[in-house]
Amino acid sequence: MISIRNVSKSYGQVKVLHDIDLEIPQSQVFALIGPSGAGKSTLIRTINALEDIQEGEILIDGVSVHDKKTDINKLRANIGFVFQSFNLYPHLTALENVTIAPVNVKNANKKEAEEKGKELLASLGLGDKFASYPGQLSGGQQQRVAIARALAMDPKVMLFDEPTSALDPEMVKEVLDAIRKLAATGMTMAVVTHEMGFAKEICNQIVFMAEGKIVEVAEPKEFFSNPKTDRAQDFLAKVLNH
Amino acid sequence: MNYQMDWSVITDNFDIFMEGLLVTLKISALSLAISIPIGIIAGLCRISRNRVLSFLAASYVEVIRGIPLLVLLLWIFFVLGKFMKLGSFWSAVIGLAVFSGAFVAEIVRAGIQSVPRGQMEAARSSGMNYFQAMKLIILPQALRKVLPPLASQFIILIKDSSLASVIAVVDLSLVGHNLVATTFRVLEVWTFIAAVYFVITFSLSQIIRYFERKYRVLE
Ligand SMILES: Nc1ncnc2c1ncn2[C@@H]1O[C@H](COP(=O)(O)OP(=O)(O)OP(=O)(O)O)[C@@H](O)[C@H]1O
Ligand SMILES: [Mg+2]
Q: How far, in Å, is the centroid of ligand 2 from the Cα of A162?
A: 7
User: Is A110 an interface residue toward B (CB < 8 Å)?
Assistant: no
* pLDDT band (50, 70, 90) for residue A182: very high
Residue B219 pLDDT > 60, yes or no?
Answer: no
Tell me which residues of chain A, numbers 39 to 58, contact chain B at a CB-CB cutoff of 8 Å: 48, 50
Nearest to B126 among A85, A105, A133 (CB): A105
> Could you tell me how many residues make up chain B?
219
User: Is A231 an interface residue toward B (CB < 8 Å)?
Assistant: no
Q: What are the φ and ψ backbone dihedral angles of A157, each rounded to 5 degrees? A: -140, 140
Instruction: Work out which ligand 1 atom sits closest to the CA atom of A34.
Output: 21
User: Residues B129-144: what's their mean pLDDT?
Assistant: 95
pTM: 0.89
At A31 the three-state DSSP class reads: strand
Lowest mean pLDDT among A109-118, B116-125, B207-216: B207-216
* pLDDT band (50, 70, 90) for residue B132: very high
| Mutate which of A7, A18, A20, A40 for ligand 1 pocket (most atoms within 8 A of beta carbon) | A40
Residues A39-95: pLDDT tens digits? 999 999 999 999 999 999 999 999 999 999 999 999 999 999 999 999 999 999 999
Residue pair A122/A138 in contact (Cβ under 8 Å)? The answer is no
Q: State whether A73 and B219 contact (CB < 8 Å).
A: no
In chain B, the residue whose alpha carbon lies closest to the alpha carbon of A75 is B127
Return the half-sphere exposure (C-beta side, CA atoms, 13 A cut-off) of residue A105. 30
Residue pair B56/B64 in contact (Cβ under 8 Å)? The answer is no
DSSP label of B164: G
The predicted pLDDT at position B124 comes to 97
Residue pair A89/A53 in contact (Cβ under 8 Å)? The answer is no
Q: Determine the Cα–Cα distance for residues B215 and A101; give it in Å rounded to an integer.
A: 22
User: Is A91 an interface residue toward B (CB < 8 Å)?
Assistant: yes
User: Is A135 an interface residue toward B (CB < 8 Å)?
Assistant: yes
N-terminal to C-terminal alpha carbon distance within chain A: 36
Q: Where in chain A is the domain with CATH 3.40.50.300?
A: 21-78+156-242
Distinct helix (H) and strand (E) counts, chain B: 12, 0
At A9 the three-state DSSP class reads: strand
Higher-confidence position of A240 and A196:
A196
Instruction: Work out which ligand 1 atom sits closest to the CA atom of A84.
Output: 27
Residues A4-26: pLDDT tens digits? 999 999 999 999 999 999 999 99
Q: State whether A81 and B141 contact (CB < 8 Å).
A: no
Map out the domains of chain B as residue ranges. Answer: 9-218
Strands of the sheet with A79-82, listed across from one edge: A79-82, A157-161, A188-192, A29-33, A205-210, A213-218
Long-range CB contacts (within 8 A, 24+) of B64-67: B64/B98, B64/B99, B64/B101, B64/B102, B65/B102, B65/B103
Give the number of whichever ligand sits closest to the CA of residue A39: 1
The predicted pLDDT at position A242 comes to 61
At A161 the three-state DSSP class reads: strand
- Backbone φ/ψ region at A89: left (φ over 0), alpha (ψ -120 to 50), beta: beta
Mean pLDDT of chain B: 93
User: Is B140 an interface residue toward A (CB < 8 Å)?
Assistant: yes
Q: What are the φ and ψ backbone dihedral angles of B147, each rounded to 5 degrees? A: -55, -45
Chain A residues near residue B218 by CB distance under 8 angstroms: 90-91, 133, 135
Q: How far, in Å, is the centroid of ligand 2 from the Cα of A166?
A: 12
Residue B15 pLDDT > 60, yes or no?
Answer: yes
N-terminal to C-terminal alpha carbon distance within chain B: 56
**What are the residues whose beta carbons fall under 8 Å from the beta carbon of B124, sequence distance 6 or more?**
A50, A73, A76, B130, B133
* pLDDT band (50, 70, 90) for residue B212: confident
Cβ neighbours, 10 Å, residue B197:
18
In chain B, the residue whose alpha carbon lies closest to the alpha carbon of A102 is B126
Residue B2 pLDDT > 90, yes or no?
Answer: no
Pick the CATH number of A21-78+156-242 from 3.30.360.10, 1.10.4030.10, 2.40.50.140, 3.40.50.300: 3.40.50.300
At B182 the three-state DSSP class reads: helix
Q: Determine the Cα–Cα distance for residues B12 and B9; give it in Å rounded to an integer.
A: 5
Residue B120 pLDDT > 90, yes or no?
Answer: yes
Residues B19-31: pLDDT tens digits? 999 999 999 999 9
User: Is A238 an interface residue toward B (CB < 8 Å)?
Assistant: no
* pLDDT band (50, 70, 90) for residue B1: low
Q: How close, in Å, is residue A34 to chain B by CA atoms?
A: 23
Residues A223-237: pLDDT tens digits? 999 999 999 999 999
* pLDDT band (50, 70, 90) for residue B216: confident
Count A/B contacts: CB-CB distance under 8 Å: 67
Radius of gyration of chain B (CA): 21
Q: Determine the Cα–Cα distance for residues B179 and B14; give it in Å rounded to an integer.
A: 11
* pLDDT band (50, 70, 90) for residue A239: confident
Residue pair A148/A120 in contact (Cβ under 8 Å)? The answer is yes
Residue B218 pLDDT > 80, yes or no?
Answer: no
At A181 the three-state DSSP class reads: helix
Residues A135-176: pLDDT tens digits? 999 999 999 999 999 999 999 999 999 999 999 988 999 999
Residue B217 pLDDT > 80, yes or no?
Answer: no
Give the number of whichever ligand sits closest to the CA of residue A52: 1
Q: Does CATH number 2.60.120.620 belong to domain B9-218? A: no
> Can you give the three-state secondary structure of A55-88, one letter per residue?
EEEEEECCEECCCCCCCHHHHHCCEEEECCCCCC
Residues A103-123: pLDDT tens digits? 999 999 999 999 999 999 999
Residue pair A27/A188 in contact (Cβ under 8 Å)? The answer is yes
Lowest mean pLDDT among A153-162, A166-175, A192-201, B209-218: B209-218
User: Is A16 an interface residue toward B (CB < 8 Å)?
Assistant: no
Run of H or E residues at A103: helix A94-105
Q: How close, in Å, is residue B80 to chain A by CA atoms?
A: 42
Task: Identify the residue whose C-alpha is closest to ligand 1 atom 26.
Answer: A36
The vertex-A47 CA angle with A41 and A51, nearest 5°, equals: 65
Q: Determine the Cα–Cα distance for residues B139 and B150; give it in Å rounded to an integer.
A: 14
Residue A212 pLDDT > 90, yes or no?
Answer: yes
* Diameter over CA atoms, chain B: 75
Lowest mean pLDDT among A85-94, A217-226, B76-85, B143-152: B76-85
Report the share of chain B in percent with pLDDT over 70. 98
Instruction: Work out which ligand 1 atom sits closest to the CA atom of A38.
Output: 21
Q: How far, in Å, is the centroid of ligand 2 from the Cα of A223?
A: 21
User: Residues B38-55: what's their mean pLDDT?
Assistant: 95
| A75 residue type, one letter | L
